[in-house]
Amino acid sequence: VQTEDSVLLFVVAWTITEIIRYSFYTFSLLNHLPYLIKWARYTLFIVLYPMGVSGELLTIYAALPFVRQSGLYSISLPNKYNFSFDYYTFLILVMISYIP
């Protein structure tokens, strides 16, 4: 999954978002906020947030077959806690929760 293009998509989007955000905070604390930083803070999120969310969703989607086949992080019955958890289903519910 780490080699998927979607990983690069969300890492780049969130990295740029954080660089802009913390640059904005730093310059604001110094009382010297350049217009470019202010513009980037309030404009680029329009592109970067959907890119980041899309990258996350595509990465989760790409991981689903592996998670289902391997049973990754899943707990099946019977066990001493009488509890089961299906990580595959949980990931699908997480993806659905992204819908506004």
Q: For residue range 35-75, list pLDDT tens digits in order.
A: 999 999 999 999 999 999 999 999 999 999 999 999 999 99
Residue 97 lies in a domain: no
pTM comes to: 0.88
87-96 mean pLDDT: 98
Residue 19 lies in a domain: yes
What residues contact 24, with CB distance under 8 A and at least 6 apart? 33, 37, 38, 40, 41
Range of the domain at 20: 5-70
As given in the structure block, the two tokens for residue 10 are 């969300």
> What is the number of domains present in the chain?
1
Residue 31 lies in a domain: yes
- The SS3 call for residue 85 is strand
Residue 40 lies in a domain: yes
Tokens 């930083």, residue located: 37
As given in the structure block, the two tokens for residue 84 are 């089961």
Active site residues: 49, 56
Tokens 């890119």, residue located: 51
